[in-house]
Structures are given as C-alpha cells and as structure tokens.
Amino acid sequence: MSNEYGKSDQTFLRSYNKKKIRSILRDEGSCSRVDLSAKANLDKKTITNIINEMLADGEVIVVSKSNDGVGRPKENLALNGEYQHCIGLDAGGTHVSGVIIDYSEKVLCDHSIDIASMSSDILMQLCNFIIEELLNKSGFTIDRIDKIGIAFPGYIDSKTGEARLTENIKGWRNLPLADLFR
C-alpha cells in the first residue's frame, strides 16, 4: 500500500520544524540542542538532523561550547546574522524610512527622511535614495541584499502588485508599485 502523502508530508513537516527552530533562536538569541528539543517539543534526533543541515547551509553557527561534565561539549547555537541581509522600507504620508537587518534581525543601519505630500514619482525616487543611503552606510552592495520589504499605507493588490488606494498619499490610485521596484 503506497502512501501518496508521504514525501510531501515529510517535506512540509521538516519545513515547519525548521521555522519553529528559527523562531526559538530569534527569541532566545542562542540555545543548545537539548534546549531546542525541549522548547520545540521535538526529539533530539530530529533537532540534530535539522541543525546539522542548517549548520551546513550556514544558516546557524556555533557561538560557544561548554563542557559541563562527561561526554561531548554542549554547543550553543545561534542564527548566523551574515546568512542573509534585508532592506525594509516604510513609505507614508509624512516620511520615508528604511533599515538593513541581518538574519538574526539585528538592525545594521537606518535612514529616514520627513516629507510633505508629494507625487508618486518623487516618493519612488526617495525610496531609491533611502536604499542608496542604506547601502552607503552599511558598506554593502546590492548583491549582499537578499530581500526588500516595503510598507505602504492602504490597500495593495497582492496579485497585481498595484497600490489600489493609499489614504495618506494623495493621487495614489492603481499605481503599479511592484513594477516600480523591479
């Protein structure tokens, strides 16, 4: 009897468990495998397999070792901040601000500009300016940025990427927002 869900269920479960581990490491800063097992409610073998994969990918690093007795030294693990870098932008009716964060959610740099009401073209230029300022402050090139997240007030159509209505920014209706950032 074949299990039609077997492979996809295992893939989903592994992904879910990795997310759980990431969340614990973000909240705790660092943790041992034993502590992760208890906090995630996962058996030690599952934790070891997932952590070994995350270590091999560079997503997790060993931050310290302690030898509390017999056996292997206890390793404290943490998310590797250098694994990914992201830019976050917040564009509103009164400001445009941005940050670069690392994978452990540490803010590496930020930049903000207060603005008056303006057209979408000028606001988009300011977003690009903020990105350039963040890159200059951090010393990064755009190649080191893995993702960019953008917050705008109002309703954004997730299928088309259009800003349908933005209350705080005059004249923004049906603006092809996603296209402006490609």
Per residue in 86-105, pLDDT tens? 999 998 778 889 999 999 99
Residue 1 falls inside a structural domain:
no
State whether 40 and 64 are in the same domain: yes
d(CA 140, CA 108): 11
The answer to whether position 15 is within a domain reads yes
Residues 30-43: pLDDT tens digits?
Answer: 999 999 999 999 99
Q: Does residue 42 share a domain with residue 72? A: yes
- Residue 112 makes CB contacts below 8 A (sequence gap 6+) with 95, 96, 97, 98, 130
Residue 1 binned pLDDT confidence (cut-offs 50, 70, 90): very low
Do 64 and 151 fall within a single domain? no
Instruction: Using the 3D structure, point to which of 81, 114, 146 is the last residue of a domain.
Output: 81
pLDDT band at 69 (very low <50, low <70, confident <90, very high): confident
3-state DSSP assignment of residue 1? coil
Stretch (H or E) spanning 121 = helix 120-138
In a domain, 146, yes or no: yes
Token digits for 47? 């934790």
Q: How far is CA 106 from the centre of its chain?
A: 10
Tell me what the pLDDT averaged over the chain comes to.
Answer: 87
* Same domain, yes or no: 91 and 172: yes
Q: Cα–Cα distance between 154 and 173 in angstroms, integer?
A: 10
Residue 61's pLDDT band (boundaries 50, 70, 90)?
Answer: very high
Please count the other Cβ atoms lying within 10 Å of the Cβ belonging to residue 87. Answer: 22
Q: Provide the edge-to-edge strand list for the sheet that holds 107-114.
A: 107-114, 95-102, 85-91, 147-151
Enter the pTM of the model: 0.78
Residues 117 and 73: beta-carbon distance below 8 Å? no
Residues 48 and 101 in one domain: no
Residue 2, pLDDT > 50, answer no
Distance CA 47, CA 144 (A): 29
The number of helices, as runs of H, and strands, as runs of E, in the chain is 5, 10
In this predicted model, which residue has the larger pLDDT, 135 or 9?
Answer: 135
Residue pair 79/60 in contact (Cβ under 8 Å)? The answer is yes
Domain limit, last residue, from 63, 81, 99: 81
Q: What is the CATH number of the domain that holds 43?
A: 1.10.10.10
Domain count for the chain: 2
Say if residue 138's pLDDT is above 70. yes
Model confidence band, residue 151 (pLDDT cutoffs 50, 70, 90): confident
CA triple 50-55-37, angle to 5 deg? 40
* pLDDT at residue 68 greater than cutoff 80: no
- The domain of 19 spans 6-81
Residues 42 and 115 in one domain: no
